[in-house]
Amino acid sequence: MRTLDLDELTLQTANIYEAAVILSKRSRQIAAREKTELDDRLAYFEGFGSDVENIRMQEEQARVSLEFEVKPKPTELAVNEMLEGEIYFRHPSEED
């Protein structure tokens, strides 16, 4: 973990609270995408029933789960995206 420069975060939004809202929404999007991906990969193992007792299958499930645990957290990814200018956001009130 590293210390963030709040001035860098507010360069695009000019408001730290707005930046926090944008980061929160983007973080939730990333977390939902990763959860769907994990669920899809683990769904493969659901159809085996009693074969789940097989040590090899358990090891494979554990490997998939650990792979997702070591990934960067969604908040960290969202902050990096904002600092690199990869997050698109708009103000609904300014679209008129």
| Local confidence pLDDT in tens for the 96 residues of the chain | 678 888 888 888 888 999 999 999 999 999 999 999 999 888 877 766 555 567 777 788 888 889 989 999 999 999 999 999 899 888 777 765
Assigned domain for 51 exists: yes
Quote the pLDDT of residue 42: 82
Assigned domain for 44 exists: yes
Quote the pLDDT of residue 53: 63
Assigned domain for 91 exists: no
Assigned domain for 93 exists: no
- Quote the number of domains for the chain: 1
Assigned domain for 37 exists: yes
Quote the pLDDT of residue 8: 87
Quote the pLDDT of residue 71: 92
Cα(88)–Cα(86) distance, rounded to whole angstroms? 6
Assigned domain for 89 exists: no
Cα(7)–Cα(29) distance, rounded to whole angstroms? 24
**Which domain, by its residues, includes 46?**
6-83
Assigned domain for 63 exists: yes
Quote the pLDDT of residue 75: 94
* Number of Cβ atoms within 10 Å of the Cβ of 65: 12
CB within 8 A of 64, min separation 6: which ones? 38, 41, 42
